[in-house]
Structure 1
Amino acid sequence: MSQPTGLTADQLHTQLRRGASGVAELAAIDLLITAAPFVLTPTRPDVVRHAIADNTGLFLRLDWGGLMVEVDQGRIPLSRGERRVVDIALSLALPGVTVALGHALTGLDNIAAGAVLGAVRAVLTDGADRG
Structure 2
Amino acid sequence: MDAPLSINYLEIPVLAMAPTKTFFSDVFGWQFVDYGDSYSCFINAGINGGFYLSEQHFDLSQGAPLIVIYSAQLTHTLAEVERAGGVISKAIFSFPGGRRFHFKDPNGNEFAVWSQ
TM-score normalised by structure 2 residue count: 0.32
Please state which structure has a larger fraction of its residues in helix: 1
TM-score normalised by structure 1 residue count: 0.30
